[in-house]
Amino acid sequence: MYIIGENIHIMADKVKAGIKERDAGFFQKLAVAQVEAGAQALDINLGPRKKDWEEIFPWMVKTVEAVTDVPLVLDSTNLLGIEAGLKVITKAQPIINSMSAEEERLESVPLIAKKYNAKIVALTMAKSGIPVSADERVGLVIEKLIPRALEIDFPVEDLIIDPLVLTVSGCQEYAPELIEAVRTLQVVWDPPPAISVGLSNVSNAVPDENRSLINRVYCAMLMGVGLQMIIADPFDEPQNEVIRVIEKRDDSTPVGKLYLTISDRVAAMEEPSIDDVDMSDPEQAAIWKTVQILLNKVIYADSYLQQ
């Protein structure tokens, strides 16, 4: 699993404070720690920075590149800021996060990416919003995102399709469709485009104590359909353990075996079965309940584990 570390994100208070004080040491420590925890690239989400983009994007790129060699993912709606950052990249091939099938982004982002030899995270989102169904999301890739790359001779292998994970708390019907979108995207083009998702989005607006569980159960299900890249928290040890268990096919513990079974069931287009689960083990019961909400079989509620 290729993990893009998500922790340099403007929504985090410490990141906000670090930017305000131009605390290079803070960001360098956070970057190194993420890479040491297993991140193979680093997402840098600074927000739009409408007033100081000209200074802040290059500053952040230089700050982080001073301590690590991994690719940087410049994550902003402000394309000027992204370009300012791209200009000072000296190490790995960078990634722009993101473009979508909305006309303006579709037009402008690939041109900038081509100019600076960057990859692009391309969202399956149109002006009308994010389609629920897997087919419609895949349709945007075939009809809009890839054709635009071909049109300007941008390498399709430098497109990273993000079929958009939405929260199970409020957008529950999207959760199983996303799994199918990931499955289908791997057969719609030759060579298949890279696929990445923002894993923790699945638990946005979920109480903190349940977020990691929902993230890692969804991760196991998505690995079943072949997902190989996520934007995620590399410090989430239980999540990393699930990734290891599935990659190594380690069924030596009952919980590990359950994760592997869930992943295999999804891979085989079967529904995970309660017969796979030892419901007397609270951890397995919680995993089972989480599978049920992620497949939209049982309506999500904040206290779904208490039901």
Partner 1 sequence: MSIEIPKDKWPGAVQTVTLGATAEQGGTRTKVVTIGGEQTLPFMHFESETPNRPVIAMEMSSSRPGGWSQVLQDTWGDVLDDPAKWAQACEQAGAELIVLMFGLTDADDNPITPDFAVQTVKAVLEATGLPLVVLGPGQVDIDNAILVPIADATKGERLVLGLCEEGNYRTIVAAAMANDHLVLGRTPMDVNLAKQLNILMTDMGLPRDRIIMDPTTGALGYGIEYGYSVMERLRLAALQGDAMTQLPLMVNPGFESWKTKESKVGEGVPDAWGDWAERGVHWETVTAVSLIEAGADVVVLRHPDSLTRVKESIDELMAAEPV
- Among candidate residues 71, 190, 186, the one with its CA nearest the CA of residue 138: 186
Residues 58-87 close enough to bind partner 1 by CB under 8 A: none
d(CA 243, CA 289) in angstroms, rounded, equals 20
128 binds partner 1 (CB under 8 A): no
**Interface size with partner 1, residues (CB under 8 A):** 13
Choice between 36 and 302, CB closer to partner 1: 302
Selected from 98, 172, 203, 263, the binder of partner 1 by CB under 8 A is: 172
Least Å distance, CB 293 to partner 1, is 10
Characterize the bridge pairing of strands 72-75 and 194-195.
Answer: unpaired
Coil, strand or helix at 191 = coil
Closest distance to partner 1 from the beta carbon of 305 (Å) = 10
**Please, what is the minimum distance in Å from the beta carbon of residue 297 to partner 1?**
8
How many whole angstroms separate alpha carbon 197 and alpha carbon 5?
12
Q: Give the strand order in the sheet containing 197-198.
A: 194-195, 159-162, 119-123, 95-99, 72-75, 39-45, 2-9, 229-232, 197-198
Q: Are 215 and 200 in contact (CB under 8 A)?
A: yes
Residues 272-301 that bind partner 1 (CB under 8 A): 297-301
Provide, rounded to whole angstroms, the least separation between the CB of residue 220 and partner 1: 23
- Closest CB 168 distance from partner 1, rounded Å: 9
User: Which sign, positive or negative, has the C-alpha torsion 161, 194, 78, 11?
Assistant: positive
Interface of this chain with partner 1, residues 140 to 169, rule: CB under 8 A? 169
Our CB check for partner 1 shows the closer of 170 and 254 to be 170
Instruction: Name the residues that contact partner 1, by CB under 8 A.
Output: 169-170, 172, 297-304, 306-307
